[in-house]
Amino acid sequence: MSSPLKFIRPRNLNESRILSWFSQKNAHYTVANARIPGLNVGFNSDENQDIILEQLHILAKETDTSLKHIAIAQQIHSEHVKIVTKGGIYPDTDAFVSSTLGISLLIQVADCGAVLLGDVTNQVIGAAHVGWRGAQKGIVRKTVESMLKLGAEISSIEAYISPCISIDAFEVGQEVADLFPEQFVEKNKNTKPHVDLKGYIFGQLVSTGILKSHIVMDTGCTFNDESDFYSYRREATKAGRMAAVIKLNEIG
């Protein structure tokens, strides 16, 4: 590793009790025998699973968390939300919520959005994998509702929308564009429509009652920012996965 690993640290979800990270591609970082360069944590990427496990141990060290305390989703573009109290690998899951001190929640992305949520007052966190399918199925709303069931208050929830594919790069077929409200579809860019996934996620968070001032939306585009991010649309099977992590820190 020639230089330190780079992470985005959401400004509204980093204080003593709640901590969060979004890993960048870190193409300079290399694990021996890896097919995909960088800090790739994607079990569903075209990489040896032992290599991914090694990468996850590195990520755990960087986030000061034992790997056994990290909940990791095996994502399927669903609206399934799990309430978790311990780390481990959870199949058929695209979102987590928890109020267990010391736990971290991890979502993997390579063009889809990751949404991190935290209520420091009531000590509840959430994380969701939000591609266009999950967004359409209501995973943002269901994740927030699950946090409220654990005691979170809507007025106290802070949210972060990770880098994901931007409207400039997210060209879709008309059948996908028709699933989105018109204000999130650009029809004049090229021959096909483009969807504003990030804007749609922001709108869904606001519709749950989260204050606009409590939402930080990263401007990064995974497709256009090749040096910083993996992109499945750009790299296909050669794409790795970034990690969005939120931790309910145990203090004292």
Q: pLDDT by residue (tens digit) across 155-202? A: 999 999 999 999 999 999 999 999 999 999 998 766 899 999 999 999
| Measured distance CA(60)–CA(76) in Å, rounded | 23
Give residue-wise pLDDT tens across range 120-147: 999 999 999 999 999 999 999 999 999 9
Task: Please report which confidence band the pLDDT of residue 104 belongs to, taking 50, 70 and 90 as the band edges.
Answer: very high
Per-residue model confidence (pLDDT) at position 1: 43
Residue 190 or residue 79, greater confidence: 79
Q: What does DSSP say about strands 185-186 and 194-195: parallel, antiparallel, or unpaired? A: antiparallel
Please say if the pLDDT value at position 2 is more than 90.
no
Write down the domain spans for the chain: 7-247
The count of C-alpha atoms lying within 13 angstroms of the C-alpha of 158, restricted to the half-sphere facing its C-beta, is: 17
Q: Bridge-partner residues for 248, per DSSP?
A: 18
CA 124 to mean position of chain CA atoms: 17
At 155, list the tokens.
């007025």
In the block, tokens 């204080």 appear at 15
| Measured distance CA(31)–CA(10) in Å, rounded | 27
The model's pTM: 0.96
State in words which class domain 7-247 has: alpha beta
Per-residue model confidence (pLDDT) at position 250: 87
SS3 assignment, position 64: coil
| Closest alpha carbon to 13 in 112, 132, 84, 104 | 104
| Measured distance CA(48)–CA(125) in Å, rounded | 31
DSSP-derived secondary structure for 146-172:
HHHHTT--GGG-EEEE--B--TTT-B-
